[in-house]
């Protein structure tokens, strides 16, 4: 349904090659992967363990780089960027949600959410207002002073989502965001992602093992043996 209007897909991967070297041997994961994702799409990526889902997501996040091929997001050629350029690209364009939340245990929920804002030219007051707003958005109003260890998994993941969206990035990447959650918490998180996509227009790429989770997405891609097969959701 989201055929892009300006004929330019938001994310464009062409002929991506990627492998890992173990000792002398190079194990190829992708040898010529193509993928386009339109702006404001919500894509689920499924596939067997070891098929390269996380590797793909890490390349989209700019923390891993392809061995060959083109990787464009918006107007940026990530495959041509150096480490510091990618670092600054990450700060301004991408939010990420981890399976195990990856919150800093020594910092409060609010301080964790504030981290991406430290990279922006905002005053402490402006940062606090933003943090409170997103904590409110994820249903954790007033919980900012709590430490992650005292929160349930579902709450921690909502802090993780708040941290991912606080700097208002266009792209949201999630690697098995519900993989560690019970059904109820998982549903809350999925509903939140659906809301961010539908109402705030975020482009979301979500890796998941869970068909139920994948049904929240507009598109589901199956990754196997380094290639995609697609299946569109009814949603």
Partner 1 sequence: MSSTTRQTLVMLRANLLGLPHRLAISVSMALSVALVVAVLTGFLAMAKGFEQALKGAGSPGVAVILGGGTNQETGSEISPDAIRAIEAMRDDLGVVRDAAGNLVSSREIVVPVDLRLAGDGTGRTLALRGMDTSGPSLRDGVRLSAGRLFRQGSREIVVGDRLAGEFPGFRVGDKVRLGVIDWTVAGHFSTGGSAFESEIWADLDAVRTGFDRQGQVQSLRLRLDSPTSIAPLKGALSAVTGTPLLAIAEADLYAAQSGRTADLIRLFGWPIALLMSVGATAGALNTMMSSVSDRTVEIATVRTLGFGRLAAFAATLAEALLLSLVGAAIGIATSWAAFNGWQASTIGANNAHMAFQLSVTADVMATAGLLGLAIGAIGGALPAFAAARLPLTAALRARR
Ligand X SMILES: Nc1ncnc2c1ncn2[C@@H]1O[C@H](COP(=O)(O)OP(=O)(O)OP(=O)(O)O)[C@@H](O)[C@H]1O
Distance of closest approach, residue 136 Cβ to Mg ion, in angstroms: 31
Q: CA geometry: angle at 84 spanning 78 and 88, to 5°? A: 75
Asked if residue 195 binds ligand X (CB under 6 A), the reply is no
Q: Would strands 94-97 and 171-175 be described as parallel, antiparallel, or unpaired? A: parallel
For the segment 39-78, give every residue that binds ligand X (CB under 6 A): 47, 49-55
Burial of 113 (0-12, 13-18, 19+ CB in 10 A): buried
Q: Angle, nearest 10°, between helix axes 153-165 and 124-137? A: 130
Q: What DSSP line would sit under 134-147, residue for residue?
A: HHHHTT-TT-TTS-
Nearer to ligand X, 144 or 177 (CB): 177
Q: Which one of partner 1, ligand X, Mg ion, none interacts with residue 39, CB within 5 to 8 A by kind?
A: none
Nearer to partner 1, 55 or 216 (CB): 55
Nearer to partner 1, 9 or 160 (CB): 160
Asked if residue 120 binds partner 1 (CB under 8 A), the reply is yes
Phi-psi region of 158 (alpha: psi -120 to 50; beta: other; left: phi over 0): alpha
Nearer to ligand X, 55 or 156 (CB): 55
| Long-range contacts, stretch 228-231, CB < 8 angstroms, 24+ apart | 228/33, 228/35
Contact set with ligand X (CB under 6 A): 20, 22, 29, 47, 49-55
Contact set with partner 1 (CB under 8 A): 54-55, 58, 61, 63-64, 83-84, 87-88, 90-92, 96, 98-100, 102, 104-107, 111, 115-116, 118-121, 163
């Amino acid at each position: 349904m989201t055929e892009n209007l300006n004929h330019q897909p938001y994310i464009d991967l062409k002929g991506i090659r990627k492998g890992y070297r173990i000792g002398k041997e190079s194990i190829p994961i992708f040898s010529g992967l193509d993928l386009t994702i339109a702006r404001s799409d919500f894509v689920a990526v499924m596939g067997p363990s070891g098929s390269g889902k996380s590797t793909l997501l890490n390349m989209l996040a700019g923390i891993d780089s392809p061995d060959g091929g083109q990787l464009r997001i918006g107007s940026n050629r990530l495959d041509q960027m150096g480490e510091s350029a990618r670092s600054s690209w990450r700060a301004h364009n991408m939010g990420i949600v981890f399976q195990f939340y990856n919150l800093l245990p020594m910092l409060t929920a609010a301080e964790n959410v504030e981290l991406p804002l430290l990279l922006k030219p905002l005053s402490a007051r402006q940062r606090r207002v933003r943090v409170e707003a997103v904590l409110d958005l994820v249903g954790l109003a007033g919980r900012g002073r709590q430490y992650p260890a005292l929160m349930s998994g579902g709450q921690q993941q909502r802090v993780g989502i708040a941290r991912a969206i606080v700097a208002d990035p266009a792209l949201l990447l999630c690697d098995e965001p519900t993989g560690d959650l019970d059904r109820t918490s998982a549903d809350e998180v999925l509903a939140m992602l659906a809301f961010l996509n539908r109402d705030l227009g975020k482009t979301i790429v979500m890796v998941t093992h869970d068909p139920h989770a994948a049904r929240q997405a507009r598109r589901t891609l199956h990754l196997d043996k380094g290639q995609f097969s697609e299946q569109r959701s009814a949603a």
